[in-house]
Amino acid sequence: MSHPDSIAPHGGTLIQRIASPQQREEFLSKADFLPRVPLDARAVSDLEMIAIGGFSPLTGFMEQADYHRVVNEMHLVNGLPWSIPVTLSVTEAIAEPLQIGSLVRLDNPTGQFIGVLELTQKYTYDKRHEALMVYRTNEEKHPGVAVVYNQGNINLAGPIWLLQREADPRFPTYQIDPAESRALFRDKGWKTIVGFQTRNPIHRAHEYIIKCAMEIVDGLFLHPLVGATKEDDIPADVRMRCYEIMLEHYFPHERVILAINPAAMRYAGPREAIFHALVRKNYGCTHFIVGRDHAGVGDYYGTYDAQHIFDEFSPGELGITPLKFEHAFYCLRTKQMATTKTSPSTREERVHLSGTKVREMLRRGETPPPEFSRPEVARELAQAMRITEPSYEI
């Protein structure tokens, strides 16, 4: 490499667990003889993220010691910060016949052989404790907690191999894995890169904080999450069209890279903000935007809890710089986007358009006002709402 990366992956080495052609042939030759474990959509995303290095330094699904340390202390056994357990949970019936030390075939939801687990451990775990520690609640109506409660009681652990990296048929041109994003940053000469996590279309408040961040770095890595989300989140293809529209009309093309994040949402609020930052560090970002209620859902987390949690780690420990932003609004006095840090406006002069109001407007066939969303994006969302019936969360 002619130019060193501007930031090291978490743990110092970018993990690569995609089988070589020879390994793949060997695994395929054993396909009919290996015990099978079916993966749900989230487990498939986790498998992919481990394999491409997005979850570096993880080389597989967590063993018991790492699991307990992460749940209780937000660190791996080796001392590195890590805030979300990455586990493969199965039923007792599936786990019972599996032999420690053996290979396990991992199938996707349609039964296709996509990966291998080198089984090192099988262990039980306390679902309620995991929920309370990771999600700060044990209520099953929380979507992340519901996943934990509904999954199997046994965690399978060990290194994994992904048979091959398939292109995402929905967004093949935007599938940029960590090794490639790092190469792109080097080619562009970017030393400082800010990552932006989103599972929603970019509205004016997002645009404002992103552009504030862009003033102090070399480039933006716009990195929407396209793995499993809640049923009422806007579909990934609609969101991607909105990002394309924004980049075409409202951002300098040479300073932005749009790429998909294959990970699944946990909705773990503060803990997931740390998790999202470490993932973007693996992709090569030096900075990470943390806005209001990052990765939150409902009223489970305080508005800025996801910012405060970064203060629980010692300076430099995470290896990526959080950029913390207040809730942005359209200011009627200054006629522009602002926060309380930049605007002298009274509460009555601030336009906060809630997701609920926007959904109601879209259902009525109305487009959100320009104070909330750029008109081209608003039209795209209104069109999508006419085509699809479910209620969407902005």
- Does 153 qualify as catalytic in the annotation? no
Half-sphere exposure of 41 (CA within 13 A, CB side): 11
The length of the chain in residues reads 394
Cα separation, 265 vs 272, whole angstroms:
9
Residues 225 and 233 sit within 8 Å (Cβ to Cβ):
no
Q: Are 329 and 347 in contact (CB under 8 A)?
A: no
CA 133 distance to own-chain centroid = 19
336 phi, psi to nearest 5 deg:
-160, 170
Q: Among 375, 376, 333, 328, which Cα is nearest to 353's?
A: 328
Task: List the catalytic residue out of 199, 266, 271, 292.
Answer: 199
Catalytic: 200? Answer: yes
| Distance separating the N- and C-terminal Cα atoms of the chain | 41
Q: Which residues of 261-298 are buried (b: 16+ CB within 10 A; e: fewer)?
A: bbbbbbbbbbbbbbbbbbbbbbbbbbbbbbbbbbbbbe
Q: Which of 24, 138, 200, 363 is catalytic?
A: 200
Q: Could you identify the residue written with the tokens 């929603």?
A: 200
Burial letters 57-86, b for 16+ CB under 10 A, else e: bbbbbbbbebbbbbbeebbbbeebbbbbbb
Burial track 161-192 (b if 16+ CB lie within 10 A, e otherwise): bbbeeeeeeebeebbbbbbebbebbbeeebbe
Q: Which residues are catalytic?
A: 199-200
